[in-house]
Amino acid sequence: MSSHATAQPMTASKSGPLKGTASVPGDKSISHRALIFGAMAVGETKITGLLEGQDVLDTAKAMRAFGATVIQHAPGAWSVHGVGVGGFQEPADVIDCGNSGTGVRLIMGTMATTPMTVTFTGDASLRKRPMGRVTDPLSLFGAQAYGRKGGRLPMTVVGAANPVPVRYALPVASAQVKSAVLLAGLNAPGQTVVIEREPTRDHSERMLLGFGAQLTVEKTSEGNVITLTGQPELRPQTVAVPRDPSSAAFPVCAALIVEGSDIFVPGVSQNLTRNGLYLTLVEMGAQIEFQNPRTEGGEPVADLRVRFSDTMKGVEVPPERAPSMIDEYPILSVVAACSTGKTIMRGVKELRVKESDRIDAMARGLEACGVTIEEDEDTLIVHGMGAGGVPGGATCATHIDHRIAMSFLVLGMAAKHPVSVDDASPIVTSFPIFEGLMTGLGASLRQGGQ
Ligand code: S3P
């Protein structure tokens, strides 16, 4: 999917109480990694619960182009017959990662230490996003990258013929960059070391251990020091992908702000590198019960009972929490608008280089819906209007960004007047069943604008 030629407007209106069970699809981050690590193992990896969103389908297609056999057996049930570390073949055509920053950055890491030349592209959103943050460390392995101005796609990466291991301290808190370096380190001799000052999602580390790589994580005063021994033979695995806490955020937050709601959301990750939104909501006074804590697909999970919460208050979100909720600030800002007082989000400049500039997209859309916003390069402040207090009645631009689209549709379920988005089509990248799942709970969503 390299463009959204046909925009699909969608409108959400004030909704009756949301009731029932919200079973959200598989985790996007883990789904990409299951396909990629499966392709680098020798033999057949079996995956259940794979997210069949467009981003992940684009990664599946890419893995086939590199020589892996990737087959869908039933909904969510896939197998990957891998070619081994260093066994990738040079793709015969351009690799189009669609909308997916995770897809393109991880795959660049994967091929950077194999002698081949690969050209990457993506949709209009992905072609605006910076790739230098990945190609800079990949060049230390010996890879070369030739992109457009500012390190933008389309970009051609020439993998290193004689890669050397790397020691790299991440200049930005980014699991994508960390993972790209680790993936490149797989096919370099010796030990590759990545140092992250603030912990980011650790799915690559968990999965590398599961696939049999030698990896250690040491907590030091510099942060996490992750050491990977290169050139292992990865053993194929059975991967049960847990549900996506970033997708669960939408029905959870909708239930918190739609009057009378009471929903059940099974299997939400409690991984400390992913649960920042849930901590923040509880601090705001959200009525969320965490039931039946257990492990699923190697991740700590709990079932959530979520009830309408009309006394939520704004909070100041600690900046060091940002990596554990980086994708959840758009929907948090919607909850903030429906709470009382100010919610202050500092240290969030990374939001400016996501699928869209999410600070700008949320600020402009919330203002159009009657909410007062303050922003600077690294900060978003939302002035809450209380439960049921947001006027709404606007059409918000989604800028080819699934999470912006879903956030404003959730706002429309609680606002006084309907809220439309100019284009809901990007939602398929991460949450293809969003419309059906939300209407099944009682949300008023319809195709078309106002
Ligand atoms: C992801 C990491 C995060 C996140 C993205 C998924 C991953 O990006 O925003 O949706 O799977 O590694 P950054 O690493 O750029 O912060």
Q: Report the CATH number that the domain containing residue 358 is assigned in CATH.
A: 3.65.10.10
Residues 47 and 79 in one domain: yes
- What does DSSP say about strands 379-383 and 373-376: parallel, antiparallel, or unpaired? antiparallel
Residues 199 and 267 in one domain: no
Listed in sequence order, the DSSP H helices in 224-356 are 245-257, 276-284, 329-337
Instruction: Categorize the per-residue pLDDT at 296 as very low, low, confident or very high, splitting at 50, 70 and 90.
Output: confident
- What does DSSP say about strands 42-48 and 316-317: parallel, antiparallel, or unpaired? unpaired
Q: Look at the block and give the residue holding tokens 């100019």.
A: 422
201 Cβ below 6 A of ligand 1: yes
Q: Is the four-CA dihedral 67, 161, 153, 363 of positive or negative sign? A: positive
Instruction: Tell me the DSSP string of 303-320.
Output: EEEEE--TT-B--EEPGG
Assess if residue 124 is contained within a domain: yes
Structure confidence at residue 297 (pLDDT): 81
Number of domains in the chain: 2
Q: Are 199 and 225 in contact (CB under 8 A)?
A: no
Residues 194 and 66 in one domain: yes
Final residue of a structural domain among 169, 197, 228: 228
Tell me: the pLDDT tens digits for 168-189?
Answer: 999 999 999 999 999 999 999 9
Final residue of a structural domain among 228, 262, 295: 228
- Residue span of the structural domain in which 381 resides: 10-26+242-447
Comparing CA positions, the residue from 41, 52, 31, 47 lying closest to residue 81 is: 41
Q: From ligand 1's centre to the CA of 175, what distance in Å?
A: 6
Instruction: Tell me the DSSP string of 86-118.
Output: T-PPPPSS-EE-TT-HHHHHHHHHHHTTSS-EE
Q: Which residue's CA lies nearest to atom 10 of ligand 1?
A: 327
Please identify, by atom number, the ligand 1 atom nearest to the C-alpha of residue 204.
Answer: 12
Contacts (Cβ under 8 Å, ≥6 apart) of 147: 131, 135, 153, 154, 155, 156
Residues 169 and 286 in one domain: no
Measure the CA–CA gap between 359 and 348, rounded to whole angstroms. Answer: 8
Residues 301 and 401 in one domain: yes
Q: Which residue's CA lies nearest to atom 5 of ligand 1?
A: 102
Comparing CA positions, the residue from 374, 346, 242 lying closest to residue 301 is: 242
Residues 247 and 369 in one domain: yes
Assess if residue 3 is contained within a domain: no
Residues 388 and 361 in one domain: yes
Residue 386: pLDDT over 60: yes
Please identify, by atom number, the ligand 1 atom nearest to the C-alpha of residue 106.
Answer: 12
Residues 208 and 263 in one domain: no
Tell me: the pLDDT tens digits for 72-119?
Answer: 999 999 999 999 999 999 999 999 999 999 999 999 999 999 999 999
Residues 443 and 416 in one domain: yes
Final residue of a structural domain among 173, 198, 228: 228
Q: Are 212 and 269 in contact (CB under 8 A)?
A: no
36 Cβ below 6 A of ligand 1: no
174 Cβ below 6 A of ligand 1: yes
Assess if residue 235 is contained within a domain: no
Structure confidence at residue 4 (pLDDT): 54
Assess if residue 234 is contained within a domain: no
Tell me: the pLDDT tens digits for 126-150?
Answer: 999 999 999 999 999 999 999 999 9
Annotated catalytic, 376?
no
Residues 246 and 204 in one domain: no
Q: Are 317 and 346 in contact (CB under 8 A)?
A: yes
Q: Which of 327, 357, 401, 422 is catalytic?
A: 327
Higher pLDDT, 16 or 126: 126
Residues 415 and 347 in one domain: yes
pTM for the model: 0.97
Assess if residue 233 is contained within a domain: no
Q: Which residue's CA lies nearest to atom 13 of ligand 1?
A: 174
Residues 180 and 280 in one domain: no
Instruction: Categorize the per-residue pLDDT at 1 as very low, low, confident or very high, splitting at 50, 70 and 90.
Output: very low
Assess if residue 380 is contained within a domain: yes
Assess if residue 5 is contained within a domain: no
Q: Are 175 and 182 in contact (CB under 8 A)?
A: no
Indicate the range of 200-204, 295-299, 343-347 predicted with least confidence: 295-299
Assess if residue 59 is contained within a domain: yes
Please identify, by atom number, the ligand 1 atom nearest to the C-alpha of residue 175.
Answer: 14
What average pLDDT does the chain have? 97
